[in-house]
Chain A
């Protein structure tokens, strides 16, 4: 019984939040890794792209709520999501045309493009703060829980409850659908394959008659969709605050690099590695240990390895370790 309780506590406080966060990071890291693979630079504006998409989704959600449109037990934001994606697509295509395209045709060094993406980051950040303000926004509505802790206890008779928030369920399901769709697109469609070919060997792709402008355009469209979805899911699960999204850049980059920059499969693996380690290291293990340790050996303290404030340190440490021992990431990425 104690063992089951420990397992449930573990699932409730570590696995479920970790998997949820991991899905969000994976979606974010996929965007970063696609840009890196195809446009060949680290996009520092990605966090703010996510913020922009989420912001539009939130605004449309509010509009829907005001009009009385809702998705029943699901958050209204899911209905608003397509609008957020469309707006973000428009924004990134505009940015590419006005900013990145120039440097691409010049064949500028990657670090110049990174610098340019800083400028874009500034502008997007300013834009988002200007429109929605720097504060916290909550926009989740509908049913809050798929499974409540108390209901679980009653159902199983265990002392520990297992709660699954709607946002967690939606995150994981959406992530699975999105990732499946993305891999289907990349591996089965002509356009998807041409994107992979372009990422693999740009010159040969050109020789094969692949149109680079089309590839770049599709990449941005996909990245916009991924960023908006990742941002909205994160916002539903936690809350929306422009600065938090900027800060997500670090775990997202860590995930993409740990997995191997330019490798979509790696981005997903990296997202879960980073998220689960973050949650594991910052979780207070007291409860789980109380159940599993023999009497008298229970920890007196919280048994927390690191305070939650150091979650960035966790992503960073993993990043550094991977860079030291396997600079191209777990799955082989590009090392340009």
Chain B
């Protein structure tokens, strides 16, 4: 099997000088795929994703993007390399308009990004209607769309989403998942951490179940949903 597009390979590490949270943990995603990290609270799901984005010290193991070792790059440098990251909280500029949020997403681009913006408005039509409203005045689901849109403005080669559906209603969650699938259909690899394991695995091409910072189960979304043990321990039967 050839090397995945983005891979956090056997990562071990923790925040700053703190104890290790991840132990030999591997996460990978390929173009056109949605990879989902699930697991119980405190399993290190978000940590694993942040590790691939350079937000903690990876003491052993490596992170490679398109074959290039990026383990020692800062998050900002990874953005330049083509990673888009949507944090779980405070992921928009609340006092700025929707359009300005997108512009800030494109801050590192020096070329004309109006096409990208149109594309994003195509993906999230509601944002076009509200382009001149301060993003802080939008609803939870709309804010998440702004957040994803902002990250897409760099035209990333891979998109990382940290619990995009946290705190939104089930209906909004379904809509957000639909949007994420749409984004993924453009060929963009998406790595996502999710609390709502069942729904997330349903749309996932690849799933990682983490327990205490280790890979517990790995497989396609369908496999994991079918796996007796996974169902029993994480999906509530």
Contacts and interface: CB of A to CB of B under 8 A. Distances in A.
A204 B91 contact: yes
A57 interface: no
A197 B87 contact: no
Interface stretch (A18-26, A45-53, A206-214): A206-214
B96 A197 contact: yes
Nearest to A196: B96
Contacts of A200: 93-96
A208 B75 CA distance: 10
A261 B107 CA distance: 26
A38 to B, nearest CB: 13
Interface string B107-131: 1100000000000000000000000
Interface stretch (B39-47, B98-106, B186-194, B207-215): B98-106
Q: How large is the interface on B (under 10, 10 to 19, 20 to 34, 35 or more residues)?
A: 20 to 34
B60 to A, nearest CB: 26
Contacts of A207: 75-76, 79, 85, 87
A203 B90 contact: yes
A9 B216 CA distance: 83
B92 interface: yes
Given A196-B96, A209-B76, A204 B108 contact: no
A201 interface: yes
Interface in A136-175: none
Contacts of A204: 87, 90-93, 150
Nearest to B86: A207
Nearest to A187: B100
A251 to B, nearest CB: 26
B73 interface: no
A210 B104 contact: yes
A117 B172 CA distance: 48
Given A207-B76, A208-B150, A193 B103 contact: yes
Given A203-B87, A204-B87, A208-B150, A196 B93 contact: yes
Contacts, number: 56
Nearest to A211: B76
B107 A190 contact: yes
Given A193-B100, A193-B103, A193-B104, A206 B92 contact: no
B80 A196 contact: no
A205 B94 CA distance: 12
A88 interface: no
A194 interface: yes
A216 to B, nearest CB: 16
B87 A208 contact: no
A323 B105 CA distance: 36
A194 B90 contact: no
A178 to B, nearest CB: 22
Which among B76, B95, B108 has the highest number of chain A CB atoms within 10 Å?
Answer: B95
A206 B87 CA distance: 12
Interface in A178-223: 190, 193-194, 196-197, 200-201, 203-210
Nearest to B95: A200
Contacts of A197: 93, 96, 100, 104, 107
Nearest to A212: B76
Interface string B69-84: 0000001100110000
A207 B93 CA distance: 12
Contacts of B104: 193-194, 197, 205, 208, 210
B213 to A, nearest CB: 23
A209 B155 CA distance: 13
Contacts of B85: 207
B94 A208 contact: no
Which among B92, B93, B100, B104 has the highest number of chain A CB atoms within 10 Å?
Answer: B104
Contact of A209 (B91, B94, B96, B108): B108
Nearest to B75: A207
Nearest to B147: A204
Interface of B: 75-76, 79-80, 85, 87, 90-96, 100, 103-105, 107-108, 150, 154
7 contacts: A193-B104, A200-B95, A200-B96, A201-B90, A209-B107, A209-B154, A210-B104
Interface of A: 190, 193-194, 196-197, 200-201, 203-210
